[in-house]
Amino acid sequence: MTISLTDSLRSKQRWFWWGLDALTVVSIGVIAGLLWRRLVSPPAYSIDDDFRATIGQVALATQAGMDVYFALIGLVGGAVIGLITWFFIGANRWWMGLVAVLGASLAGLIAAAMGMALGPTNFLERVAAATKGDLVPVDFTIHSWVPWLLWPGMAAVPVLIGSLIKRERWINYPPMADASSQSSVDGSQP
Protein backbone atom coordinates (compact mmCIF):
# COMPACT_ATOMS: atom_id res chain seq x y z
CA MET A 1 0.00 0.00 0.00
CA THR A 2 1.46 3.32 -1.03
CA ILE A 3 0.49 6.74 0.21
CA SER A 4 0.49 9.41 -2.42
CA LEU A 5 1.77 12.92 -1.93
CA THR A 6 -1.74 14.35 -2.15
CA ASP A 7 -2.95 12.04 0.65
CA SER A 8 -0.05 13.20 2.81
CA LEU A 9 -0.82 16.86 2.09
CA ARG A 10 -4.52 16.33 2.82
CA SER A 11 -3.63 14.73 6.12
CA LYS A 12 -1.39 17.67 7.02
CA GLN A 13 -4.09 20.13 6.00
CA ARG A 14 -6.61 18.29 8.15
CA TRP A 15 -4.32 18.48 11.18
CA PHE A 16 -3.69 22.15 10.48
CA TRP A 17 -7.44 22.95 10.51
CA TRP A 18 -8.03 20.85 13.62
CA GLY A 19 -5.18 22.66 15.37
CA LEU A 20 -6.48 26.04 14.25
CA ASP A 21 -9.94 25.16 15.55
CA ALA A 22 -8.51 24.06 18.91
CA LEU A 23 -6.45 27.25 19.15
CA THR A 24 -9.55 29.29 18.38
CA VAL A 25 -11.55 27.53 21.09
CA VAL A 26 -8.87 28.15 23.71
CA SER A 27 -8.40 31.77 22.59
CA ILE A 28 -12.12 32.50 22.74
CA GLY A 29 -12.27 30.95 26.22
CA VAL A 30 -9.39 33.07 27.51
CA ILE A 31 -10.70 36.28 25.91
CA ALA A 32 -14.21 35.60 27.21
CA GLY A 33 -12.88 35.05 30.74
CA LEU A 34 -10.93 38.30 30.63
CA LEU A 35 -13.93 40.15 29.21
CA TRP A 36 -16.24 38.69 31.84
CA ARG A 37 -13.92 39.77 34.63
CA ARG A 38 -13.56 43.23 33.08
CA LEU A 39 -17.31 43.81 32.70
CA VAL A 40 -18.38 42.64 36.16
CA SER A 41 -17.36 44.07 39.49
CA PRO A 42 -18.51 41.81 42.32
CA PRO A 43 -20.68 43.40 45.01
CA ALA A 44 -19.31 43.85 48.50
CA TYR A 45 -20.57 43.17 52.00
CA SER A 46 -20.02 46.01 54.45
CA ILE A 47 -18.88 45.28 57.98
CA ASP A 48 -20.87 47.34 60.49
CA ASP A 49 -20.04 48.35 64.09
CA ASP A 50 -21.30 45.04 65.49
CA PHE A 51 -19.02 43.14 63.06
CA ARG A 52 -21.98 41.94 61.01
CA ALA A 53 -21.64 41.64 57.25
CA THR A 54 -24.58 43.22 55.41
CA ILE A 55 -25.37 43.68 51.77
CA GLY A 56 -28.05 45.72 50.01
CA GLN A 57 -30.61 44.62 47.46
CA VAL A 58 -28.88 46.40 44.60
CA ALA A 59 -25.68 44.57 45.43
CA LEU A 60 -27.56 41.26 45.42
CA ALA A 61 -28.88 42.08 41.96
CA THR A 62 -25.32 42.82 40.88
CA GLN A 63 -24.33 39.38 42.14
CA ALA A 64 -26.95 37.83 39.86
CA GLY A 65 -25.53 40.03 37.10
CA MET A 66 -22.33 37.99 37.16
CA ASP A 67 -24.30 35.04 35.78
CA VAL A 68 -26.12 37.23 33.27
CA TYR A 69 -22.89 38.64 31.83
CA PHE A 70 -21.40 35.15 31.60
CA ALA A 71 -24.55 33.98 29.80
CA LEU A 72 -24.45 36.89 27.32
CA ILE A 73 -20.79 36.26 26.59
CA GLY A 74 -21.63 32.57 26.17
CA LEU A 75 -24.35 33.35 23.65
CA VAL A 76 -21.88 35.13 21.40
CA GLY A 77 -18.88 32.92 22.14
CA GLY A 78 -20.77 29.68 21.56
CA ALA A 79 -22.20 30.88 18.25
CA VAL A 80 -18.76 32.02 17.07
CA ILE A 81 -17.24 28.66 17.99
CA GLY A 82 -20.02 26.85 16.13
CA LEU A 83 -19.45 28.94 13.01
CA ILE A 84 -15.69 28.60 13.12
CA THR A 85 -15.87 24.84 13.67
CA TRP A 86 -18.33 24.57 10.77
CA PHE A 87 -15.94 26.36 8.42
CA PHE A 88 -12.60 24.98 9.68
CA ILE A 89 -13.40 21.30 10.09
CA GLY A 90 -15.93 20.87 7.33
CA ALA A 91 -19.65 21.13 6.96
CA ASN A 92 -20.40 17.70 5.52
CA ARG A 93 -19.56 15.49 8.47
CA TRP A 94 -22.25 14.02 10.70
CA TRP A 95 -20.25 14.55 13.91
CA MET A 96 -19.70 18.27 13.31
CA GLY A 97 -22.33 19.26 15.89
CA LEU A 98 -20.59 17.16 18.54
CA VAL A 99 -17.22 18.80 17.83
CA ALA A 100 -18.76 22.28 18.04
CA VAL A 101 -20.59 21.48 21.29
CA LEU A 102 -17.49 19.98 22.92
CA GLY A 103 -15.34 22.92 21.80
CA ALA A 104 -17.81 25.46 23.16
CA SER A 105 -18.09 23.54 26.44
CA LEU A 106 -14.32 23.64 26.78
CA ALA A 107 -14.25 27.36 25.96
CA GLY A 108 -16.94 28.01 28.58
CA LEU A 109 -14.94 26.11 31.19
CA ILE A 110 -11.81 28.06 30.28
CA ALA A 111 -13.72 31.36 30.48
CA ALA A 112 -15.17 30.47 33.88
CA ALA A 113 -11.80 29.34 35.22
CA MET A 114 -10.07 32.46 33.88
CA GLY A 115 -12.65 34.81 35.40
CA MET A 116 -12.63 33.05 38.75
CA ALA A 117 -8.84 32.98 38.86
CA LEU A 118 -8.72 36.76 38.36
CA GLY A 119 -11.57 37.58 40.71
CA PRO A 120 -11.58 37.64 44.49
CA THR A 121 -11.76 34.24 46.20
CA ASN A 122 -11.85 32.91 49.78
CA PHE A 123 -14.78 35.06 50.86
CA LEU A 124 -15.12 33.49 54.32
CA GLU A 125 -11.46 34.09 55.17
CA ARG A 126 -11.67 37.71 54.01
CA VAL A 127 -14.83 38.34 56.05
CA ALA A 128 -13.25 36.78 59.13
CA ALA A 129 -10.22 39.06 58.78
CA ALA A 130 -12.28 42.23 58.11
CA THR A 131 -12.66 45.08 60.58
CA LYS A 132 -15.36 47.71 61.11
CA GLY A 133 -16.15 49.71 57.98
CA ASP A 134 -14.44 47.32 55.54
CA LEU A 135 -16.05 46.36 52.24
CA VAL A 136 -15.55 42.69 51.42
CA PRO A 137 -16.38 41.71 47.80
CA VAL A 138 -18.04 38.35 47.18
CA ASP A 139 -16.25 35.57 45.36
CA PHE A 140 -16.16 35.99 41.59
CA THR A 141 -17.94 32.87 40.41
CA ILE A 142 -20.88 31.48 38.47
CA HIS A 143 -23.81 30.80 40.77
CA SER A 144 -25.75 28.49 38.44
CA TRP A 145 -24.90 25.95 35.74
CA VAL A 146 -27.45 27.41 33.30
CA PRO A 147 -25.21 30.26 31.97
CA TRP A 148 -22.49 27.73 31.22
CA LEU A 149 -24.96 25.57 29.24
CA LEU A 150 -25.59 28.45 26.85
CA TRP A 151 -22.07 27.98 25.44
CA PRO A 152 -22.63 24.49 23.96
CA GLY A 153 -26.26 25.26 23.17
CA MET A 154 -25.36 28.24 21.03
CA ALA A 155 -22.51 26.35 19.34
CA ALA A 156 -25.03 23.85 18.02
CA VAL A 157 -27.23 26.53 16.45
CA PRO A 158 -24.94 27.50 13.50
CA VAL A 159 -24.27 23.84 12.76
CA LEU A 160 -27.99 23.03 12.75
CA ILE A 161 -28.88 26.04 10.62
CA GLY A 162 -25.99 25.34 8.24
CA SER A 163 -27.05 21.73 7.83
CA LEU A 164 -30.59 22.84 6.97
CA ILE A 165 -29.47 25.45 4.45
CA LYS A 166 -26.65 23.55 2.75
CA ARG A 167 -27.67 21.65 -0.34
CA GLU A 168 -26.55 18.08 -0.11
CA ARG A 169 -25.07 16.25 -3.09
CA TRP A 170 -27.31 13.23 -2.72
CA ILE A 171 -30.51 15.19 -3.31
CA ASN A 172 -31.14 14.94 -7.06
CA TYR A 173 -34.33 16.30 -8.48
CA PRO A 174 -35.34 15.00 -11.89
CA PRO A 175 -35.26 17.66 -14.59
CA MET A 176 -38.58 19.18 -15.51
CA ALA A 177 -39.84 17.78 -18.79
CA ASP A 178 -40.82 20.25 -21.48
CA ALA A 179 -44.56 20.13 -22.29
CA SER A 180 -43.95 20.24 -26.06
CA SER A 181 -41.75 17.12 -26.02
CA GLN A 182 -44.31 14.96 -24.21
CA SER A 183 -46.88 13.02 -26.17
CA SER A 184 -50.08 11.52 -24.95
CA VAL A 185 -50.81 7.82 -24.89
CA ASP A 186 -52.50 7.82 -28.28
CA GLY A 187 -49.49 9.53 -29.91
CA SER A 188 -51.07 12.92 -30.51
CA GLN A 189 -49.36 16.11 -29.45
CA PRO A 190 -51.06 18.18 -26.72
Nearest residue to 123 (alpha-carbon basis) of 58, 42, 187: 42
d(CA 56, CA 53): 10
Query: 15-19, 82-86, 101-105: which has the highest mean pLDDT?
Result: 101-105
The yes-or-no verdict on residue 28 having pLDDT over 90 is yes
Predicted TM-score (pTM) of this structure: 0.75
For residue 48, which amino acid is it?
Answer: D
Domain ranges of the chain: 15-166
Residues 6+ apart with CB under 8 A from 31: none
**43 Rama sector, left if φ>0, alpha if ψ -120 to 50, beta otherwise:** beta
- 124-164, pLDDT tens digit by residue? 888 888 888 888 888 888 888 899 999 999 999 988 888 77
- 48-97, pLDDT tens digit by residue? 888 888 888 888 888 888 999 999 999 999 999 999 888 877 666 777 88
SS3 helix, strand, coil % of the chain, rounded to 5? 65, 5, 30
Partnered with residue 53 across adjacent β-strands are 47
The yes-or-no verdict on residue 6 having pLDDT over 70 is no
Q: What is the pLDDT of residue 35?
A: 96
**173 secondary structure, DSSP code:** P
